[in-house]
């Protein structure tokens, strides 16, 4: 069973490749890679995930439709604590004469997740502006 969105995705990506890559060799390599993805079924998996995401977002179940915003708020909160609150607390405790060392979190996972979610948010904004989705 073919997913109808695959053809549209391939057409859009081909158009982007043809417009953005000036070097004919790079253009040919990119188009070849796109063809390989399409034939290997990876594009179908990606398109299938897009459809699942649409169904989850339209769900009336509060847990299903709101888990992404919750993850986003957790990421933003953790980054705010690490980048703003903790340094201020260290400075204030040092000024008060009782220095407290700052615990450094590994924020690489948080930033990766947050940047990906911001990309989805940006795509959603573009869809709204173009009137694709209500």
Mean pLDDT of 67-92: 85
Other Cβ atoms less than 10 A from the Cβ of 76: the count is 13
Task: Evaluate if residue 1 carries a pLDDT over 70.
Answer: no
What local confidence, expressed as pLDDT, does residue 106 receive?
79
What local confidence, expressed as pLDDT, does residue 62 receive?
65
What local confidence, expressed as pLDDT, does residue 2 receive?
47
Q: How many residues does the chain have?
A: 134
Hunting for tokens 């990766």 — which residue is that? 112
Residue-wise pLDDT tens digits, 6-65: 666 677 777 777 777 778 888 888 888 877 777 766 666 777 777 777 777 776 776 666
Task: Evaluate if residue 134 carries a pLDDT over 60.
Answer: no
41: left (phi over 0), alpha (psi -120 to 50) or beta: left
**pTM higher than 0.85:** no
Mean pLDDT of 105-111: 78
Least confident stretch, 68-77, 82-91, 115-124: 115-124
Mean pLDDT of 113-132: 74
Residue 102's nearest CA partner among 111, 92, 89, 121 is: 89
Cβ distance 43 to 81 under 8 Å?
no
Confidence of residue 114 (pLDDT cuts 50, 70, 90): confident
Write the CA distances from 117 to 62, 74, 109, integer angstroms. 19, 12, 12
């Amino acid at each position: 069973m073919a997913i109808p969105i695959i053809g549209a995705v391939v057409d859009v990506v081909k158009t982007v490749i043809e417009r953005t890559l000036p070097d004919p060799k790079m253009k040919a390599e990119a188009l070849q890679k796109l063809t390989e993805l399409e034939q290997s079924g990876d594009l179908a998996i990606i398109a299938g995930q897009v459809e699942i995401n649409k169904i989850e977002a339209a769900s009336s179940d509060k847990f299903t439709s709101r888990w992404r915003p919750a993850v986003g708020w957790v990421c933003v909160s953790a980054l705010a604590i690490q980048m703003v609150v903790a340094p201020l607390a260290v400075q204030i405790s040092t000024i008060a004469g009782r220095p407290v060392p700052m615990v450094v979190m590994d924020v690489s996972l948080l930033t990766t997740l947050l940047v990906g979610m911001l990309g989805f948010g940006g795509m959603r904004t573009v869809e709204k502006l173009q009137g694709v989705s209500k």
